Structure 1
């Protein structure tokens, strides 16, 4: 279709009689690369006849192929939303969905859902975020892995769109002069990329470059009839889709943080890591968060170039673009060294409950011994592995393996610059000593959260937990009694570096947070003396 005729076709598709079903009224949504028509029970998405470098919709054949790819890719995560590819026929001034006559355009037909179903238009709950994290982790586990002989996911393929984003934002003459900030971001990006090349290559060899969604943020996720539907995957450029799964996670984390939902961003990240076991992605997370914030800034810059810059929408797009640039720059700063926390206590003392609260309140990664033990044996966290004492996956050597894994993970995560909360019983001084030694070797502050409750409370919690089958822990009353007999209480220096929490009394989260910060301040002061 002639580019000049395209606006006439868009106008024609605003008429209800352009559709083979009831469609009055027709609503039109325009993005920087597409037009979407909400018509009756359906939505129709057309590609704009444009070439932006990172995408090329300049010919009808390219647009048709991209519509078919969009259908294939999005049926992976939203199979009931994506129906088929339809032809737009007739003439530019009398266009019709389907019908006879010459093909003017192609569109993807989808089931329509209320715009209020989009996650960026509703208040999000912690439960929904947990479900989303599990869904994404399971999606990443089953999608195709890039062939190591392919060009996807190489260090060069990773850097190219990062630099291109910066160039396209620079080209937007409608922004206040952002050159100094963009120069700082480019310098940081190139230096961080250079330092991470070995990690990028290793993850590529180990199968973390996969055919992902590519554009996973709240605006492309909807809650439809209570089910999470992730749509609008990138079909137009395989290099933006065949990416490290870390890049996909960074987009959602960045998007939640940009919206002000920092606690939910932390919750999503922790739940994804628990489900996937891919703690190594933390090494790349800041680089990818900068990249993803710049992707959104670029989209705003492109929209500015397509609309009236003096309009109310143009003003909003300019403000949003600048906000994403500021967010990207904030990810390049490290405020303090990482910290290590050990949550210790008998089964039922509330370690994991507190850990779930702390991982939303603090920028930390929560490691649970119950989950990592099952991962060692290839058992899903949802599967019970209860057995007789010292049997199944709970024989003594397996316990040592579990603590060794927790130690390796904690050291890696601390090395990536993130705080760590290790959640385990830690009933012996020898097990705790390994983590104190880790803190000394890395010269970082460390603290014990010593949780306890009256024994009748511990027993009641374990009985309820087993009856409800609502936790990954397999500990029962026999295990609790074994732990009580083997417990080596904190003494000496350990007591001095501990925050004691009676969960039977139920201190508030603000109380616990204040005591944690106070303890770290005291430790820092004693270290500096």
Structure 2
């Protein structure tokens, strides 16, 4: 058999059926899953994925040599995120009783060998039956940020991720969708994407120059996430078209956020995004995030419309179009700053609100460390900058950094929560002026709890060592003595919360964004 000779599709189908019988003799029932480009045989604890001998506009698996190369690519790419799932590329050999995974016969096909998992382990299934949590998505956001940090940067000389490519891909998807659903619904998406593509040219050039176009996953939605080994793991990376995975890392993150929003769980999506931003520090991505969300929603609407249906519980094309249209509508920006002593509940409340409201959080404890080159959970006392991290100049630099980030995010049309102590009047006034200049609604989340509660929380937090804050009891006492209370004018804009009592988060959100509204002008998430 010549590995470079095109394979007869009928012979390939017969080989798969014969291999299935061979596996059934060893494992009993062997379900066969068929997609438009592959077959997957589920045998015992493993799955074997074979490429169909196809030649399409976007891939060529027509020969054994090409399928072997594609399997090797699939293994390499997916082991970056799912090494426990992708086990190897195995030969399928001819034998006296038909094709086999054993023996020494002629290699007639190849397959990717994977660890098998139950369908209910998919993130989409876990979401449907209530087993997917904000903590799960936050942990995955942290893992994805680490993956993006080590992923390969787009090669010199390529145009992957360029402004021209991004624009062309978006407009092609919008045109295809309009052809499926009609111009009345499709044309507004096309026009909005085209207009935004013009405005974002400089942003995309800066992203490429800043090494933010990398070899990502490319197809990051809930059906490609699996719960395994007590964590969410991404699998099924796009291997057949490099242009679909050599993308702005914000496109990877935006795909998953969009999918959760389309499924009615924006709260989980923003829990994921918050962690991705906190551990990756890529707040510059926010400028183009709304475009990425509308583009990804347009693509999924097109795919769903072309298929003519969707799985039970999954969004249909109308849901994706509706989400895109809501994302296109401008909303009034809003800025919320926290105020309170260490352990007064600022970060907990900020986290709850950002998930419910669809906001971007900037956390001083994290950004202070980032400016010093430290990871969020790093202990500064064990570093070279321990004596400089909490000086007056460091604090001034941190608040300046937070202000610059907040200004840019407000300009991009997203509500912002700045999670910091804001114990000095001048710091609060600076952000009030920033909000006024941006035309943003401004509020102060005024957090309180008895000193005994604060001391107990600080002791417990330091024992866990799972938080970016490094304040101890001595810091608490010092700040309590030096804090500058809210003025009368500030109290009029403040939302006072006792964090040691039951907090009505609906009321807090309404007081900030307006009754019954989130970042898109919609009712709050469940």
Same fold (TM > 0.5): yes
Q: 1:269 aligns to what?
A: 273
Cα deviation for residue 164 of structure 1 reads 3.5
SS of residue matched to 1:207:
coil
Out of 209, 227, 244, the residue aligned to residue 205 of structure 1 is 209
Out of 332, 355, 368, the residue aligned to residue 373 of structure 1 is 368
Q: 1:190 to 1:432 in 2, by over 3 A?
A: same
1:486-505 Cα shifts (integer Å, max 9, x gaps)? 21111132122112222233
Cα deviation for residue 518 of structure 1 reads 5.9
Q: 2:20 aligns to what?
A: 14
Cα distance in 1 for residues equivalent to 2:178 and 2:67: 28
Q: 1:256 aligns to what?
A: 260
Cα distance in 2 for residues equivalent to 1:422 and 1:182: 37
Contact 1:88 1:96 in 2 (8 A): yes
The 5-angstrom pairing of residues 413-492 of structure 1 reads: 413-492=409-488
Cα distance in 1 for residues equivalent to 2:175 and 2:101: 38
- Tell me whether 69-78 or 484-493 shows the greater mean CA deviation: 484-493
Q: 2:408 aligns to what?
A: 412
Cα distance in 1 for residues equivalent to 2:516 and 2:430: 20
Q: 1:316 to 1:421 in 2, by over 3 A?
A: closer
Q: 2:3 aligns to what?
A: none
Segments of structure 2 that go 5 or more residues without pairing to the other structure are: 1-6, 518-526
Cα deviation for residue 89 of structure 1 reads 4.3
Cα distance in 2 for residues equivalent to 1:314 and 1:223: 22
Q: Does 1:237 align with 2:241?
A: yes
Q: Does 1:149 align with 2:157?
A: yes
- Tell me whether 159-168 or 245-254 shows the greater mean CA deviation: 159-168
Contact 1:86 1:98 in 2 (8 A): no
Contact 2:423 2:484 in 1 (8 A): yes
Cα distance in 2 for residues equivalent to 1:463 and 1:318: 45
Cα deviation for residue 110 of structure 1 reads 1.2
Q: 1:137 aligns to what?
A: 145
Q: 1:513 aligns to what?
A: 509
Q: Does 1:296 align with 2:300?
A: yes
Q: TM-score, normalised by structure 2?
A: 0.89
Cα distance in 1 for residues equivalent to 2:170 and 2:60: 18
Contact 1:32 1:303 in 2 (8 A): no
Q: 1:319 to 1:479 in 2, by over 3 A?
A: closer
Q: 1:351 aligns to what?
A: 346
Cα distance in 2 for residues equivalent to 1:423 and 1:468: 21
Q: 1:308 aligns to what?
A: none
Q: 1:191 aligns to what?
A: 195
Q: 1:160 to 1:399 in 2, by over 3 A?
A: same
Q: 1:395 to 1:204 in 2, by over 3 A?
A: same
Cα distance in 1 for residues equivalent to 2:392 and 2:311: 64
Q: 1:384 aligns to what?
A: 379
SS of residue matched to 1:14:
helix
Cα distance in 1 for residues equivalent to 2:259 and 2:232: 17
Number of positions where the alignment pairs a residue of Structure 1 with one of Structure 2:
505
Q: 1:220 aligns to what?
A: 224
Q: 1:347 to 1:106 in 2, by over 3 A?
A: same
Q: 1:40 aligns to what?
A: 44
Cα distance in 2 for residues equivalent to 1:314 and 1:249: 23
Q: 2:355 aligns to what?
A: 360
Contact 2:23 2:43 in 1 (8 A): no
Cα deviation for residue 357 of structure 1 reads 1.0
The 5-angstrom pairing of residues 303-342 of structure 1 reads: 303-304=307-308, 320-334=316-330, 336-342=331-337
- Tell me whether 504-513 or 342-351 shows the greater mean CA deviation: 504-513
Contact 1:148 1:204 in 2 (8 A): no
Q: 1:162 aligns to what?
A: 170
Q: 1:170 to 1:36 in 2, by over 3 A?
A: farther
SS of residue matched to 2:20:
coil
Q: 1:106 to 1:146 in 2, by over 3 A?
A: same
Cα deviation for residue 94 of structure 1 reads 4.8
Cα deviation for residue 279 of structure 1 reads 0.9
The 5-angstrom pairing of residues 58-137 of structure 1 reads: 58-90=62-94, 94-97=98-101, 99=103, 103-122=107-126, 123-137=131-145
1:393-424 Cα shifts (integer Å, max 9, x gaps)? 11111011111011011101101100011111
Contact 2:304 2:310 in 1 (8 A): no
Q: TM-score, normalised by structure 1?
A: 0.88
Cα deviation for residue 333 of structure 1 reads 2.1
SS of residue matched to 1:490:
coil
Cα distance in 1 for residues equivalent to 2:19 and 2:80: 29
Q: 1:458 to 1:195 in 2, by over 3 A?
A: same
Cα deviation for residue 76 of structure 1 reads 1.0
Contact 2:178 2:187 in 1 (8 A): no
Contact 1:386 1:474 in 2 (8 A): no
Q: 2:524 aligns to what?
A: none
